[in-house]
Amino acid sequence: MLVQKENTIGEVVAGNFHTAKIFEDFGLDFCCGGKKTIQDACRERGINPDAILSNLMVIEHVNGSVAHYDKWELDFLIDYIITNHHTYVLREITTIEHHMEKVMLKHGEKHPEIFKINSFFSELKDELIVHMQKEEKMLFPYIKNMVFASRNALDFPYPPFGTVTNPVAMMENEHENAGKLMSEINKVSNSYTPPDDACTTYRILYKELADFEADLHIHIHLENNLLFPKTIALEKSFSINN
């Protein structure tokens, strides 16, 4: 793929996930901000887009395996998201909360910012749990029904929510808010830099939060820039073919 300034960040990362690091290094959001073109995103941040393009050209020539998420069938992609990202979120929430409690108890008086981090993370946790339940119980089953109908030349399975664009818009809005909460945690923790007097648990907690943010970026990217656009296109294909 020859990347141009007019390409959206999301489609570039969808074609080669290794490019995500380039955008992150320049402070450009590839998940919630994936619908922006490289040119528009760079203009907002005062970045020369040619610097991005030159780095992307290097990535394109690097050998190595690339996860071609954009080539996967939608039902397979859904199973991957649940198994790798939903499961990860539920598992890590418990671990992070346990470590957060210990750090607040031991370091909270000297480092009150940990209480802010805990507040943001608690809100993020509550939102993500409900969000993932909506996807697994409502949206994802409908997408799988559409895939099955399309694969077997069956009639369009009319959804209870009118059109798939309605729950997709809701999920994208919730992704946006999750991204903002994670960004606040990043900022308050000074990009997950533990203080000099941090104990081992403190340092582990910050590493866990950094990993949690990295996973959330991939998680949101897979849905916003791959699953949702292809789902909307699949729904439209039924009206075209009928």
pLDDT digits (tens, 9 = 90+) for 48-58: 888 888 777 76
Residue 183 pLDDT:
95
Domain check: are 228 and 175 in the same one?
A: yes
Q: Are the C-beta atoms of residues 223 and 169 closer than 8 Å to each other?
A: no
Domain check: are 48 and 136 in the same one?
A: no
Domain check: are 113 and 40 in the same one?
A: no
Question: Closest Cα to residue 41, out of 14, 2, 7, 13?
Answer: 7
Residue 141 pLDDT:
95
Domain annotation covers residue 25: yes
Domain check: are 113 and 53 in the same one?
A: no
Domain check: are 150 and 233 in the same one?
A: yes
Domain annotation covers residue 2: no
Domain check: are 220 and 151 in the same one?
A: yes
Angstrom distance (rounded) from CA 83 to CA 86: 6
Domain annotation covers residue 3: no
Domain check: are 15 and 78 in the same one?
A: no
Domain check: are 110 and 218 in the same one?
A: yes
Domain check: are 56 and 80 in the same one?
A: no
Domain annotation covers residue 194: yes
Residue 33 pLDDT:
78
Domain annotation covers residue 181: yes
Domain annotation covers residue 39: yes
Residue 104 pLDDT:
97
Residue 54 pLDDT:
78
List the beta bridge partners of residue 8: 37
- How many domains are there within the chain? 2
Question: Closest Cα to residue 85, out of 192, 178, 191?
Answer: 178
Domain annotation covers residue 155: yes
Q: Are the C-beta atoms of residues 16 and 59 closer than 8 Å to each other?
A: yes
State pTM to two decimals.
0.78
Domain check: are 22 and 123 in the same one?
A: no
Domain check: are 15 and 117 in the same one?
A: no
Residue 222 has, within 13 A of its CA and on its CB side, a CA count of: 24
pLDDT per position as a tens digit, 200-238: 999 999 999 999 999 999 999 999 999 999 999 999 988
Domain annotation covers residue 48: yes
Domain check: are 38 and 99 in the same one?
A: no
Residue 132 pLDDT:
97
Q: Low-confidence residues of the chain, pLDDT below 70?
A: 1-2, 58-67, 239-242
Q: Are the C-beta atoms of residues 78 and 140 closer than 8 Å to each other?
A: yes
Residue 241 pLDDT:
53
Domain span holding position 197 = 72-241
